[in-house]
Structure 1
Amino acid sequence: MNERRVGIVMNGVTGRMGLRQHLERSIVAIREQGGLPAADGTMIIPEPILVGRNELKLRRIAEQHGLTRWTTDLSEALAEPDVEIYFDSSLTQLREKGVRAAVEAGKAIYCEKPIAESLDAAIDLARLVRDAGLKNGIVQDKLSLPGLRKLKRLVDGGFFGRILSVRGDFGYWVFEGDWQEAQRPSWNYKLEEGGGIILDMFCHWRYVLDQTFGQVKSVYCQGATHIPTRVDEQGNEYAATADDSAYGIFELEGGIIAQMNSSWATRVFRDELVEFHVDGTEGSAVAGLRNCRAQHRSATPKPVWNPDLPATEKFRDQWATVPDNEVFDNGFKVQWEMFLRHVVDDAPFTWDFVEAAKGVQLAELGLQSWREGRKLEVPALDLGGHL
């Protein structure tokens, strides 16, 4: 069987997401399954070159996965003759520099979000890859989660009738780092290092809302730094200068109202770390990372408010489980396979840098809304020229 080996510079693989989701559960998994079939039957074999700042970590990761190519020099990696794709999951504040280097080297580019720290920078990168004629993509992994795919199936099938509202709840308690080690790196809580939950999660909520329910038309956001002091990886106390929680209200096309709570300072009392509750005239559904439950209009009970008596109904038991009906692969791997086919076969990949800029736009407007205490419209992006 013919093979097409595709060199991929993977910048940021020593980080949590870059290592676990993108390297181990995507690229290594594709290699272990024998590659990915292209349109003509050729097997696409990804050949990763690991890039990061810590030589010891890179060597250890490479040895663990039977890989031989790694370097702390990005320009050296981009100069390798077989490299076709640059992937970036490095720190947000470093991403723009890496993308510009990849554009200069003429590579296809696939990136984690946010694409940049500001909308101006995100738009500039979108223009840059457009003018260079380079294939480009942004990770929008939530769309490939089993729970959200089942929810989208309900939307596309008309289950909800007219959708009225979406209520999303995301988050968990991130330890402060003193008596228990924090689960997230300290830069997440430093504004000066690109941290903050609004910049992080509003990029996700933009594509989830846009592509599942309807385009976001306005935003009102209240942010907060609930935990003002944390302890870093070296055991040093530091001031948390970035927001750790955000409470957003979004108006979508069609009159849909979406509420999204995002917090790294909440303890979980729900079935999954993120849940979306959707109400419509004909039915409702609750979707998480993997599961989705629904209640049709015809099966909706008629509860009566009576605070003087204990509840006798088990409300959760009144919902039906939405079946899988298909095999769900890892969401990051699914999008990697799509991007590889985009590069090799010119297959469609709609999640480009324009979509990436939309996410940064919503985050920037959310921060502005918080500062000014008012609702803001979300205008159409103007990148200049036709994309």
Structure 2
Amino acid sequence: MASPVLRIAMNGITGRMGYRQHLLRSILPIRDAGGIQLDDGTRVQVEPILVGRNEAKIRQIAERHGVEHWTTDAEAVVADPSVDIYFDAQVTSRRAAALTAAMKAGKHIYTEKPTAETLDGAIELARLARDSQITAGVVHDKLYLPGLVKLRRLVGEGFFGRILSLRGEFGYWVFEGDGQSAQRPSWNYRSQDGGGMTTDMFCHWNYVLEAILGTVTSVTAMTTTHIPTRWDEQGKAYTATADDAAYAIFEVETPAGDPVIAQINSSWAVRVYRDELVEFQVDGTSGSAVAGLRRCVAQQRAHTPMPVWNPDLPATEPFRDQWLDVPANGDLDNGFRVQWEEYLHDVVAGREHRFGLLSAARGVQLAELGLQSSAQGRRLAIPELTL
């Protein structure tokens, strides 16, 4: 007897993230492994259906990876009763309408972020998912990275004692596109197309802070456009209307009710002088840790040296050598694939995915308030979201 199959319409896989992480490193490896294995030992296979507007690109990707089904007709694939799941990795401006159509057609949905351009739109999607009784999942990829998996384990084990603060540094230099090609698409720098550092990354920072620390209660942000002119994919100069950097302070309340100050700098106009493209340092009364994409190092209170400030002498302490690696203690696969597998298990079981559209709406809320905070030059409290 053949294994049951989940047919997944994948829209937006000609883009960088949709192709590399979701198709190439997630769904295709799951397919090639024979699908996901359930608790009773049976397997459920996946069958991708590639969806996009550029017929030549879609056909080429399908032929390259042995994908039988592809289409440029998104409406038809959503209306197809044999399709179980709709996945969206399009530009933000097209996402809400596509997700709405899919849920109204009874499809389970899995999507990139932000889920909508406005908080009202994101909340409406969450309400629709609740009322449609489908399984909705939102990509929370950072939480599945080996570095943050280790960091969350330290938090769960009480390593830090009372957590005091978090400091995050994210970003790298994105070339303007004149002398060297830009590493990110030009729409990222046009607010009218849904671009912007705050809109993009605050959705991530919200779920990262929630998972590591607790509830985000306020934001104070300064956003800016450091590079006002960039060049698009055709080599044409354009005005960057979206922010390319955001500097923010978040107040967070832990489950125990303790206040934590989190500072995160995000910039596409910064040159990297750190071990990884994103790093988070958490400091607590009993210890500290620094986590990146893959690595996490920690220093306990008992092993903390006593630096002494003396600007007249060069520093001789090997500060980095005084930290110890946190072991993985297990195999940590590609984070996108791991969450896909978790989501697919939830679809088969008919249960709610732990990272759904309400979580995504809180990310959109934080981005909106971050932009407002910058425009108004003040700290803004974050109201609790309910459906």
1:307 matched residue in structure 2: 311
In 2, Cα distance between the equivalents of 1:114 and 1:28? 24
Does the 8 A contact of 2:136 with 2:352 survive in 1? no
> Which of 252, 259, 263 is the aligned partner of 1:259?
263
1:116 matched residue in structure 2: 116
1:12 matched residue in structure 2: 12
In 2, Cα distance between the equivalents of 1:203 and 1:156? 23
Summarize deviations over 1:56-96 as a string: whole Å, max 9, x none.
00001001110111111011212333211010000100001
> Which of 327, 330, 337 is the aligned partner of 1:333?
337
In 1, Cα distance between the equivalents of 2:385 and 2:137? 17
Does residue 1:200 correspond to 2:200, yes or no?
yes
Helix, strand or coil at the partner of 2:4: strand
Helix, strand or coil at the partner of 1:98: helix
> How many angstroms does 1:38 deviate by?
2.0
Q: Is there any run of 5+ residues in structure 2 with no aligned partner, and where? A: none
Does the 8 A contact of 1:2 with 1:43 survive in 2? no
Helix, strand or coil at the partner of 1:234: coil
2:66 matched residue in structure 1: 66
Question: Structure 1 residues 98-107 or 111-120, which shifts more?
Answer: 98-107
2:96 matched residue in structure 1: 96
1:26 matched residue in structure 2: 26
In 2, Cα distance between the equivalents of 1:74 and 1:2? 28
> How many angstroms does 1:168 deviate by?
0.3
Summarize deviations over 1:165-208 as a string: whole Å, max 9, x none.
00000000000000000000000000000000001000000000
Q: Describe how 1:373-384 pairs up with structure 2 within 5 A.
A: 373-383=377-387
2:368 matched residue in structure 1: 364
Q: What TM-score, normalized to structure 2?
A: 0.98
> How many angstroms does 1:382 deviate by?
3.0
Letter paired with 1:102: A
Describe the shift of the 1:5–1:58 C-alpha distance in structure 2 as closer, same or farther (beyond 3 A): same
Query: Runs of at least 4 residues of structure 1 off by over 6 A?
Result: none
> How many angstroms does 1:223 deviate by?
0.3
In 2, Cα distance between the equivalents of 1:53 and 1:198? 27
Helix, strand or coil at the partner of 1:219: strand
Does residue 1:51 correspond to 2:55, yes or no?
no
2:273 matched residue in structure 1: 269
1:216 matched residue in structure 2: 216
In 1, Cα distance between the equivalents of 2:353 and 2:96? 21
In 1, Cα distance between the equivalents of 2:367 and 2:184? 20
Letter paired with 2:350: D
Letter paired with 2:120: D
Does the 8 A contact of 1:219 with 1:375 survive in 2? yes
In 2, Cα distance between the equivalents of 1:50 and 1:13? 7
1:281 matched residue in structure 2: 285
Letter paired with 2:98: G
- Taking only aligned residues, the RMSD between alpha carbons, in angstroms, comes to 0.9
Letter paired with 1:345: A
Does residue 1:343 correspond to 2:347, yes or no?
yes
> Which of 292, 299, 324 is the aligned partner of 2:296?
292
Does residue 1:241 correspond to 2:241, yes or no?
yes
> How many angstroms does 1:351 deviate by?
0.4
Q: Describe how 1:315-330 pairs up with structure 2 within 5 A.
A: 315-330=319-334
1:160 matched residue in structure 2: 160
> How many angstroms does 1:343 deviate by?
0.7
1:174 matched residue in structure 2: 174
Q: How many residues align?
A: 383
In 2, Cα distance between the equivalents of 1:127 and 1:34? 34
Letter paired with 1:18: G
Letter paired with 1:171: G
Does the 8 A contact of 2:135 with 2:352 survive in 1? no
> How many angstroms does 1:348 deviate by?
5.0
Does the 8 A contact of 1:225 with 1:244 survive in 2? yes
Q: What TM-score, normalized to structure 1?
A: 0.98
Question: Structure 1 residues 89-98 or 123-132, which shifts more?
Answer: 123-132
In 2, Cα distance between the equivalents of 1:282 and 1:204? 27
> How many angstroms does 1:101 deviate by?
1.3
Summarize deviations over 1:226-256 as a string: whole Å, max 9, x none.
0000000011100000000000000000210
Q: Is there any run of 5+ residues in structure 1 with no aligned partner, and where? A: none
Helix, strand or coil at the partner of 2:184: coil
Helix, strand or coil at the partner of 1:350: coil
2:144 matched residue in structure 1: 144
Does the 8 A contact of 1:219 with 1:251 survive in 2? yes
In 2, Cα distance between the equivalents of 1:2 and 1:377? 54
